[in-house]
Every structure is written in C-alpha cells, then in structure tokens.
Amino acid sequence: MNAPSVLVVDDEPLARRRAVRLLRQLVDVGSIQEAGDIEQARSILDAASIDVLLLDIQMPGGSGFDLLETLSSPPGAVVFVTAFDDQALRAFEAQATDYITKPIDPGRLQAAFRRAMNVVHARANLDRISELAETVKALRRSGAGRPRGLSEFWVKVRNDYVRLPAAGISHFQADRDYVQIHAASGTYLHHESLASLERRLDDEEFVRVHRSTIVRRDHIVRIKTNPLSSMIAVLADGSEIRVGRTYASTVRSRLAKPG
C-alpha cells in the first residue's frame, strides 16, 4: 500500500496547522489536505480517496457527525480531534477508530494514527479477499459447461497421427521419458512425462493410483485387497493395477465421491 493520504478538518487555522505539522513528523504519512468547514471537507472527500480523516466535532455549518452521515463513501479510518471530552461514546458509535482531545499530544497522535492504519490495512485486505472471491466466481461461471481437461489425444504412429478420445483410455503408465497410453484400440507411446500429463488431465475423470500409473476413474470396476493389505484396482478390460501405499487414501476418497 502507498503512503496513506490524510485530510485534516478543523475550523481553527492554528489547530489545523499544528495537526499538519505533527503529522509530517510521522514517517508513514503521504499527502495531507486541509478543510476549514463541512462543505470544503465534503468536496475533498467526494473528489479523492482519503485513508485517514482527522475530524473536529463542532464547526460552522454542521458537526463532524453531520459530515460522516452524508458521505456516500466513507474514508478508511476516522479519528476525532476535539476540545470536548464528552462526545467519545457518540464518536465510537459512528465507527471512529480513535478520539483525541486538544491540545494534541504528539505521542497520542502517533498512537491514534497507527491504530487508524491498522484499520485501513485490515479493510484493504478484506476488499482484496472479496475481489478475489468474485474473480473466482466469475471464472467458474465462464468455465461452466467446458471440459476441465483434455478430451482427446493425438499420438504419432509411424508417419501418421491417431486421435484417441479420452473416454476410451483406460490408463496411462510411465515408461522412462514416455507414457504408455492404454486405450480400447491398443497401446500407444506418447512422448511426455506422467507428471506433465497429470497436470493436463481432468482430475474428476482420472486418478493417480501409483507413482507410475494414472487410471480413468470410470474404468475401475473393483478394488481388491490382498492379504498384505495393499490394494489392486481391477479395470473393465480385466487389467489389474497395484495401488501405491502413498496413493491409497486418495484413491479411497476419490472413488467414494459420486461420479
């Protein structure tokens, strides 16, 4: 986040100048603007995004509370700075982050500003999370109805290329720098690593059962357990593929989900 912007609203010029001077001594402060009445403050707040508002209560033309009630987009944090000590409850009911009485103590202003910036950062993080959630929703909506992974493969056989629909592939098996593709029409050699291929497959349709094997989920017809408690996946074509111990829990949970 860039250095925060501040607006000081006070009808007393001396009070404004003191507040601005103390603010400039804080290393984290960015731009500082001033307003001497409610209308001027409202004009600045409507035209610019203000992170921290230092706001007096009693001013000509209305109070600081009146200003806050009319803003369509409130500043990031509000700190009331006033000569009156009997308005603190109302200030916090108006969502103020702090309440300082005049004359302003430098240490007290520094603490209030730090508290205000914590609020600004927290709100900014919530906004980013909300924006990210909306982006994810939009991406999911835009991807609805589209295939999540590869729907077909083109493999080279001698000098030709053969199309293999993903639905007809029972499993993939690692073979050094290649992958054996076992399909209804035969077995084909594909030049790609199993790890790379796994990233391109639809994880709802394919499940990795071993460090060297990925199986199409709907081709598994049975899971056998041998006396040593290891698992064997039996495929529709009668093939039996051992399930690696590190993949066993994943296979159980994936097969338990509705297809």
The per-residue pLDDT string of the chain (259 residues; one tens digit each, 9 = 90 and over) reads 578 899 999 999 999 999 999 999 886 788 999 999 988 998 898 888 899 999 998 887 788 888 888 887 778 899 998 887 777 788 888 788 899 988 899 999 999 998 998 888 887 777 667 666 676 666 566 554 444 567 888 888 888 888 888 888 999 999 888 899 999 889 999 888 888 888 888 888 899 999 999 999 989 998 887 666 578 889 998 889 988 888 888 888 877 766 5
Q: Are 193 and 179 in contact (CB under 8 A)?
A: yes
The ranges of the chain annotated as CATH 3.40.50.2300 are 6-142
Distance separating alpha carbons of residues 115 and 75, to the nearest angstrom: 14
The kind and range of the H/E element at 224 are: strand 220-225
Strand partners, 232: 224, 242
Fold type of domain 6-142: Rossmann fold (3.40.50)
The ranges of the chain annotated as CATH 2.40.50.1020 are 152-256
- Is the dihedral angle over the CA atoms 148, 151, 153, 154 positive or is it negative? negative
Distance separating alpha carbons of residues 25 and 9, to the nearest angstrom: 18
Cα 73–79–81 angle (5° rounding)? 125
Q: Are 96 and 74 in contact (CB under 8 A)?
A: no
pTM above 0.85, yes or no: no
- Residue pointed to by tokens 């899971």: 223
Q: What is the CATH number of domain 152-256?
A: 2.40.50.1020
Q: Is 130 exposed, middle or buried (0-12, 13-18, 19+ CB in 10 A)?
A: exposed
How far is CA 192 from its chain centroid?
A: 33
